[in-house]
A and B are shown apart, each in its own frame.
Chain A
Amino acid sequence: MIYLDNSATTKPYKEVLDTFVTVSEKYFANPSSLHSKGGEAEKLLGQARKSIAQLLEVAPTEVVFTSGGTEGNNIAIKGIAFQHQNRGKHLITSSVEHASSHESFQYLESQGFEVTYLPVNHDGLISLEDLERSIRPDTILVSLLHVNNETGTIQPIQEIGKVLKEHPKIFFHVDNVQGVGKVDLPLKEWGIDLCTISAHKIHGLKGNGILFVKNGVSISSLFTGGEQELKKRAGTENVAGIVAMAKALRLILQEMKEKKENLSEIKQFILEELRTIDGIDINTSVEYSAPHIINFSVKGIKPEVLIHSLDKRDVYVSTRSACSSKQGGASRILLEMGLGENRASTAIRLSTSYGNTLKEAELSLKILKEELINIKKVMR
């Protein structure tokens, strides 16, 4: 099996699964229970929070556990909007956000908020001038994706943070679901107030995530009914999943330190190979993208057909964001980048992680080339 769909989800680390099983067996009590079993579970939860805080270089009180990226983005965006609407009802985001952010903003528009969707250039980047121009006295939130899930484009978060430093009343939310473990994002240094992370993109388990909420930033909670998670997110904590996530985060940050070069090497190889194939356009910005995502379009071939034919040969890739892949049609993100309807509706995404090897890349490119020939034979 060659798995190249790591941006959709990653395979859990063996150690992560072991942790999950052990914690589920031994520390199954409700951490809010007063008895000693509850105390143990609470202590373990606290240790996991501390460990995550250390890894992210933030305070434990700034770590809120969620059910994943979608929830994190929803809590951050709606939570800020509703909590601070008295100060203003203008929000800024980009036109290339993940659906969970994009649709949160659309919902807020229906609730009387005004949203500026910053356009992007061919590389998928917003412009700082556009951002500065959009800021108004009633702006309360800027929310942006760090690494785009379809194209891998990295937004200039550090520079954006600097711009926003001049506007201390605006909260800055970064969706780092695709970036964590692959591209650095120093939360404190870059002036970030909220940041979304998901466990299953870093070889943890589905159903767990982290929302960093800087101390002093108040948000209205979407879920109420308990005092868990500093009253920002009620609900009994998924202790086993959270502890497993702490382990996944530690392991992937370790891998990033040791193996980031490997990812870039594999990406370079794939890009070079793709360039030699007729009818392929590369959609990923070579200069401004993360080391693990490659997006390209194949002229005249429905992406689904290609995916299934690779699937038959045990190579797994995807069209774009898994969350919207079943909708068919053109990619909103690629359209926004001005790549045109044809390219936007024939896109394929390869996404790697630290388990992938150069050998796998070589083999999958060979298979890709063969399958393209096969498909073309049939389609003509």
Chain B
Amino acid sequence: MIYDHLVVRYGELSLKGKNRRHFETQLFETVKRKMRPFQDLNMAKHFDRIVIELNGQPYEPIVKSLQDIFGIHSISLAVRSENDLEAIQKAALIALNEAMEGKKTFKVTGKRSLKSFPVNSMQLNQEVGGYLLRNTEGFTVDVHNPDVNVKVEVKDTGTYISSKSFEGAGGLPIGVGGKAMLMLSGGIDSPVAGYLTMKRGVRIEGVHFHSPPFTSERAKQKVVDLTQELTRYSGGKIKLHVVPFTKIQQTIKDKIPSSYSMTIMRRVMLRITERLAENNNAMAIANGENLGQVASQTMHSMYAINEVTNMPILRPVITMDKLEIMNISHRIGTYDISIRPYEDCCTIFLPSAPKTKPKREKAIRFEKNIENLEELIEEAVNDVETLILEEGKSTDETFDDLL
């Protein structure tokens, strides 16, 4: 392994004008936190990149970990050499040989940001490219579609030569886009919605409606585990609010015609989530709603439900096909948790024939049947159990001794 550095390049940050410094700082903080489990790394923040010195450590797990961080465009393996043409050529040769296994064509992309270096970018391409051709066999240059791109960047801190790159997660650094409350049911869609919300730099807090004994501890644990999985992308911690929902569920069952019970339930859930958002300084609600997937998710239904709040509702998966959502869910590690077969509050109280085209006026009228709705909401909000989940920490320490 000849690579001694990782060059972490930013995503859309270059477009962000005056906020750029803030964004970079946020990203650097996240990278630092994420790199904590790895010892002996040196990290430095530069204008358009973060450079990580590996100090002999294997790069694979580090790259993998970096790929979870939003705001990173790409991660390249790099060798650092002195700013000296001969040294650069030699290092480039090693990097090329390492990357060319089974490949045929390459090109050199030279970049001289250190203007005092006597060889300019164009010359760099020629000098390094020529050297590589002279000293290898069977490789040819293809400037349009090369198998391997050898990047040579001359900076004041030295020259970085890289030929192997990994895709980053893209998006914006977490923490630059405000905060949203994520409604987490335990299904496949809501964690994916949370992931995509975070992708745009938004911090999330989870909200889960728990109705014991109708829904079990295992259903709650499922949501805890999902939230735990999402901490990988959150830059550290995520709060999860577990709302005691049994009393409200029972009241709805008693007082609302069953065809409208789901609509009313969703309206109440939104109200509670909005209250929690206000209490926790969030400015939006995010959920896994999708058009046409189940009864609550028709446009009519959304129209009847959405009325209760003025808060923006982010629905990142709204237009996706189920398969697209599942693919993301597999990729981000939530799928296997989501498919655990426990009843949640959306399945257990599901009426046999929910209205797919509920009327807003009717919903309002039926809702009035519950005279003490405000009180019930107040009570649920007050009795919320808030858990704080932290990346890399087991959610349950009681088993630690045993393991």
Contacts and interface: CB of A to CB of B under 8 A. Distances in A.
Per DSSP, chain A at the interface is helix
B217 A22 contact: no
B216 A43 contact: no
A147 to B, nearest CB: 23
B403 interface: yes
Contact of A19 (B221, B396, B402): B402
B336 A61 contact: yes
Given A34-B216, A47-B394, A47-B396, A39 B402 contact: no
Contact of B221 (A34, A39, A60, A243): A39
Interface string A142-155: 00000000000000
A210 to B, nearest CB: 14
B402 A243 contact: yes
Contact of A42 (B218, B336, B396): B218
Interface in A241-268: 243, 246-247, 250
B402 A44 contact: yes
A61 B396 CA distance: 20
Interface string A218-250: 000000000000000000000000010011001
Interface size class of A (residues with CB under 8 A): 20 to 34
Given A61-B336, A189-B60, A47 B217 contact: no
Contacts of A247: 402-403
Given A43-B221, A47-B394, A243 B216 contact: no
Contacts of A47: 394, 396, 399, 403
A39 B217 contact: yes
A321 B279 CA distance: 66
A337 interface: no
B57 to A, nearest CB: 14
A199 interface: no
Nearest to B335: A61
Residue of B61, B221, B394, B403 with most chain A CB atoms under a 10 A cut-off: B403
Interface in A327-373: none
Contacts of A44: 399, 402
B122 to A, nearest CB: 39
B231 to A, nearest CB: 14
A359 B370 CA distance: 81
B24 to A, nearest CB: 32
A309 interface: no
A85 to B, nearest CB: 28
A51 interface: yes
A48 B336 CA distance: 16
Contacts of A75: none
A232 to B, nearest CB: 14
Given A34-B216, A39-B216, A61-B336, A48 B221 contact: no
Contacts of A34: 216
Contact of B218 (A39, A51, A246): A39
A23 interface: yes
A36 B402 CA distance: 19
Contacts of B216: 34, 36, 39
Given A47-B399, A47-B403, 9 more contacts: A36-B217, A39-B217, A43-B399, A47-B396, A61-B336, A243-B402, A246-B403, A247-B402, A250-B403
30 contacts: A19-B402, A19-B403, A22-B402, A23-B402, A34-B216, A36-B216, A36-B217, A39-B216, A39-B217, A39-B218, A39-B221, A42-B218, A43-B221, A43-B396, A44-B399, A44-B402, A47-B394, A47-B399, A47-B403, A48-B403, A51-B403, A57-B61, A60-B336, A61-B336, A189-B60, A243-B399, A243-B402, A243-B403, A247-B403, A250-B403
Interface of A: 19, 22-23, 34, 36, 39, 42-44, 47-48, 51, 57, 60-61, 189, 243, 246-247, 250
